[in-house]
Amino acid sequence: MGSLMSSAQEGWVLDAGNTRIKLAIFRDDKVAQVLTDEAAEKHGRRALDKKQLPEQMLIAASGELTPFWNEWSKLCTRNQTDTIQLFHLNTAEGFDLDSSYESMGTLGLDRAANARAVLSEDSDSNWLIIDVGTCITTDWVESGTFTGGSIAPGIDLRLRSMYAGTANLPYPENWRELAAEGVGLHLGTNTIESLLAGAIGGANAELQQRVEAFHTEFGDFRVALTGGDAECLELRTRYPIFADSNLTWKGFHLILKDLVQKH
């Protein structure tokens, strides 16, 4: 194949999660582009063809890699000359992250990345991290230490489970568009609106109550909000919310930089 030249100041993070494969491209330590599935593979193939690979790459694989990315990792091992520094992680063990969590080997990589990101943002504060994606995770970081949290069904999973578990309830394919239009979170006047009030409004109420419960138990803290469906919520808390849709990517990029520094 010949020498694979790196493109300057560029790093990639490939997230192989439970539902989709996503590729984040960093330039000068900032997220420049996020591609999913076929678009990510097309970008990777073009980079191979043009011999314009990034300097470093992290594959965070909690799910299965596609044949293309499996072949990519074989072609681009970090022991080869003139190729990228490639790191492949499928466990959070060994992360540069203080933790009292009992099973780091089974901790979702995205949860670890979120913790790494908020500590980079403010290591002096305690954090409650809320990630609204396929699942809704809430994680607690206290005195710089990741201590654990909770995992609940995400909004889409709630809607799909009602559809799968009943005879007559539909699955609203366009629920995100309806949510963006401002469908009420608490009072539905038809079946679709009632489903959204239950799934979105229920998740919203659940998270607001969880924030209050953490305040009662732990005192003051900062709230970090991220995840693809976080924009559907209308959280109102006594604490300022640090919202960043790229929080997980930033955490993965920091982990990549940690690994590069160690090697």
Residue 239, SS3? Answer: coil
Query: Residue 115: is it exposed, middle or buried by C-beta count within 10 angstroms (0-12/13-18/19+)?
Result: buried
Q: At what angle do helices 67-75 and 37-50 cross, to 10 degrees?
A: 30
Residue 198 Ramachandran class (φ > 0 left, ψ -120 to 50 alpha, else beta)? alpha
- What does residue 91 show for φ and ψ, rounded to 5 degrees? -150, 150
Contacts of 50 (CB under 8 A, 6+ apart): none
Query: Please, are residues 172 and 178 in contact by the beta-carbon 8 Å criterion?
Result: yes
Query: Please, are residues 253 and 26 in contact by the beta-carbon 8 Å criterion?
Result: yes
Task: Please tell me which residue in 29, 49, 98, 110 is annotated as part of the active site.
Answer: 110
110: annotated active-site residue: yes
Q: Residue 76 and residue 73: Cα distance in Å, rounded?
A: 5
Q: Residue 44 and residue 67: Cα distance in Å, rounded?
A: 13
- What does residue 226 show for φ and ψ, rounded to 5 degrees? -150, 180
Q: Which amino acids are annotated catalytic?
A: 110
